[in-house]
Amino acid sequence: MKKIINVLTSASLLFSGLSYAAYEFKVNDEETIKFGGFVKIDGRHVDGNVAYRDFWIGSGSVLAEDAAQTKFFANESRFNTTYTNNGVTAFIEMDFYGGGGTETISNSSHPRLRHAMIKYEDFVIGQTWTTFMNTSALAETVDFAGAMVGEAFVRNTQVRYSKNGWSVALENPESYGGDTANDSMPDMIAKYQHNADWGNVSVAGLVRQLTTTMGETESAFGVSVAGKVKVADKDDFRFQFHQGNLGRYVGVAAAQDLVGEEVEESTSFMVAYRHFWTESTRSSVFYGNITTTESDVDRSHWGINVFKNYTPKFSVGAELGNFEMAEADADSTYMQVSAKFAF
């Protein structure tokens, strides 16, 4: 029993930032199965000359003139399962952003794999958030993951070893904008995260070998500092700063790894402050930005929201914000409301 408790405690730390599996069934002294996820329904209105998206990433389609679109959707809903047996934990999660949806007939959408990983002792093997990320430094937002332009945000298949705050990993390589057929060296990441009563801060480094379209190999390096700091009673401040040849690791399609034959360099950041008005009502204000040297990208996303929990598992949120592509003189304002029931 003690072994199971230790494994579940370790797994809960690993899965922070994932959708917690909430309903637990004990099969026997060595086996436990947990099911979880949430149902989230969104209503979104976008107005401007960056085309409508269900959530902002680091890029967008610039329109010839302003347009306004309203949409209701449930794609962010997700489900997950955690299985523990004899000190080994497996976690799998899916949502419904896999495509295939059409409002013309049935509005059906395909499931999409988010996480599929195995944890044994200090090792993680499988697809999950990159080791480069600090998931606690993501803002609480109605718009999926908030200011992605300033965030480290990618899931990779990887092999990771973690001990005493240190993590090292070999992760799936990808020369975004280059020749992916000749990516032979895995991405290498090292991170240290210090946790304390006041919150946490992490420092991470990334080393990669990229392959250009002409078959040349180029080295790429990047660093990240991120964290979450408790303020006053329940408030918190979250921050991320990333600099270097980070390409696809930050900004979610705002920057490629390679532009032509040149390695892209980017600087990005995200800051967010969350305030609790009451025990059940809270707001976050956030801002993110990314700039690049080779492609001259300059993109920002800000937002302000309010959430209210009507029960411990049922909440309603509303958010107002703006996504800007300054280099293209384009921006769109959005309003979004959501209802979320966590399992």
pLDDT of residue 25: 86
Of 116, 120, 117, 115, the C-alpha closest to 85 is 120
Give the number of other CB atoms < 10 A from CB of residue 58.
Answer: 26
Q: Where are the beta strands (DSSP E) in 112-154?
A: 112-120, 123-129
Which token pair is 297?
A: 């990208």
Task: Break the chain down into helix, strand, coil percent, rounded to 5.
Answer: 10, 60, 35
Which residues are within 8 A (CB) of 265 and not within 5 positions of it... i.e. 6 or more apart?
A: 244, 245, 292, 293, 294
Residue indicated by tokens 């976050």: 284
Q: Are 309 and 315 in contact (CB under 8 A)?
A: yes
**What does pLDDT average to in each consecutive run of 10 residues of the chain (343 residues)?**
41 49 80 94 98 96 98 95 94 91 82 96 97 97 96 97 97 96 96 97 98 94 98 95 97 96 97 97 98 97 98 97 98 98 93
What is the CATH number assigned to the segment(s) 41-73+117-342? 2.40.160.10
Amino acid at residue number 250: V
Cα 160-163-169 angle, rounded to 5 deg: 20
Paired with 293 in beta bridges are: none
Q: Are 260 and 178 in contact (CB under 8 A)?
A: no
